[in-house]
A and B are shown apart, each in its own frame.
Chain A
Amino acid sequence: MAQAAVAHVEGQQHPIKLYLVVWGWLFVLSTGSYLVDYFGLHGHLRWSLILLFMILKAGLIVAVFMHMAWERLALMYAILVPPVLVLVFVGIMVFESNYTLFTRIIFFGAGP
């Protein structure tokens, strides 16, 4: 019974072309992020481009290569929401390191 169901749809079946297209896009995005460094872009433009390319690449890998796009929402949210909460931790540590830097400058002198 179960065996029959599996025979019809076993696991994740997608056309090979999809993987090749994603592969191509990952190459393009990686080249993009490398060129950010190669041309020596600075400041907010550099950081936003790096983060943009990073998010796009991560999204493509998780969604297509890891087949998350075809999973049920229950698994999707269980796996993808907790890492987002790490951003709270990032926020806490930004405050903390700013404070550490402040105390270092106050008590040890010269800053950056």
Chain B
Amino acid sequence: MTDTVLADTGAAATRPSGWRGIAADWSSDQRAFKNVSWGKAMMWIFLLSDTFIFSCFLLSYMTVRMSTTVPWPNPSEVFALTIGGTTIPLILIAIMTFILISSSGTMAMAVNFGYRHDRVKSAALMLVTAAFGATFVGMQGFEWTKLIMEGVRPWGNPWGADQFGSSFFMITGFHGTHVTIGVIFLIIISRKVLRGDFDREARGFFTSRKGHYEIVEIMGLYWHFVDLVWVFIFALFYLW
């Protein structure tokens, strides 16, 4: 059986673009996503469903915050850290934001080097991404510990509305889980890249499509999504 290469980009060039392109792509009784492999399309669709999950969390946070008669704790003060005698508002969260953005930058370059078949650079950049991600989770662990020590619980906290704790643990916990899963998969994929599984066209877990570095890009999509979610959490939960 021939190994169909679904990542073929040749067909797309001759197809109509714009609105006409959408109609032609979706109505053709074939694949709707012409030049995107099933792996990439499925990752996008998974990310879309994940978007809805995080949307529901942020929406329920908005709802409890808008409907409570008790004042909401001031995140700027709750997440402030005292470093060397001066209290800086929200500093830990800012550092975490920069770390996650940096990890997205290294991931984007890892994808690039993957497509250039530069195995060592691609794997190294993925490992750097994983290290940034692990640092992020570590800092989140620190943040959780600090807040729990200060008496924040899902059912109450010393500063204001009880719903603060449940929203905080649910939203950041779910996001942290995503980061952790991402770190694990980054390590798995970078090991495969470094070993040359995609060059040797080895078959196996996540490499069943032979000789393609596209899996690095798919991994990248997931990782950038984790960063993307953090952008919304940072803005809506920490800054609002």
* Interfacial residues, chain A to chain B (CB-CB below 8 A): 2-3, 5-6, 9-14, 16, 19-20, 22-23, 26-27, 30, 33-34, 36-38, 40, 47, 50-51, 53-54, 57-58, 61-62, 64-67, 71-75, 77-79, 82-83, 86, 89-90, 93-94, 96-98, 100-101, 104-105, 108, 110-112
Task: Give the chain A neighbours of B97 by CB distance below 8 A.
Answer: 30, 34
14 A-B pairs, CB-CB below 8 angstroms? A5-B8, A10-B212, A11-B111, A12-B112, A26-B101, A30-B101, A37-B90, A51-B235, A61-B228, A65-B104, A65-B220, A83-B55, A86-B59, A97-B66
Among B44, B59, B66, B213, contact of A10 (Cβ-Cβ < 8 Å): B213
Contact, CB under 8 Å: B115 / A13:
yes
Which residues 76-110 in B have Cβ within 8 Å of A in the complex? 76, 89-90, 94, 97-98, 101-102, 104-105, 107-109
Contact for A72 among B12, B109, B235, CB less than 8 A: B12
How far apart are the CA atoms of A64 and B101 in the complex, in Å? 13
Chain B, 33-56, contact with A by CB distance < 8 Å: what is the 0/1 string? 111100001001101100110010
CA distance A112 to B63 in the complex (A): 15
Shortest distance from the beta carbon of A57 to any chain B beta carbon, whole Å: 5
Report the number of A-B residue pairs with Cβ-Cβ less than 8 Å: 185
B17 part of interface (Cβ distance < 8 Å): yes
A61-B12 in contact (CB<8A): no
Dominant SS among interface residues on chain B:
helix
Ranked nearest first, the 5 interchain pairs of A and B with the lowest CB-CB distance are A97-B66, A23-B105, A54-B235, A100-B67, A97-B67
| Contact of B115 with A11 in the complex, beta carbons under 8 Å | yes
Which B residues from 100 to 154 make CB contacts under 8 A with A?
Answer: 101-102, 104-105, 107-109, 111-112, 115-116
List of A residues within 8 angstroms of B71 by Cβ:
112
Query: Is B69 an interface position by the 8 A CB rule?
Result: yes
B102 touches A23 (CB 8 A): yes
Are A77's CB and B101's CB within 8 A? Answer: no
Would A65 and B48 count as touching, CB distance under 8 A? no
Evaluate contact between A66 and B221: CB separation under 8 angstroms.
yes
Closest to B240 in A: A50
Q: Which B residues are CB-close (under 8 A) to A83?
A: 48, 51-52, 55
CB distance from A103 to the nearest CB of B (A): 9
**Pair A93/B59 contact, Cβ less than 8 Å:** yes
Which residues from chain B contact A6 at a C-beta distance below 8 Å? 5, 7-9
The reply on B204 being an interface residue by CB < 8 A is: no
Residue from A9, A40, A101 in contact with B76 in the complex, judged by beta carbons closer than 8 Å: A40
Docked CA distance A66–B238 (Å) = 25
Given that A12-B115, A26-B104, A58-B231 are contacting pairs, would A77 and B66 also be in contact in the complex, using a CB cutoff of 8 Å? no
* B232, A86: Cβ atoms closer than 8 Å: no
B181 contacts A by Cβ under 8 Å: no
B residues near A82, Cβ cutoff 8 Å: 48, 51-52
B224 touches A97 (CB 8 A): no
A47 to B239, CA, bound (A): 9
Given A23-B102, A72-B33, A82-B51; 10 other pairs, CB 8 A cutoff = A19-B105, A20-B105, A22-B105, A26-B101, A38-B90, A58-B231, A72-B35, A74-B34, A90-B59, A105-B69
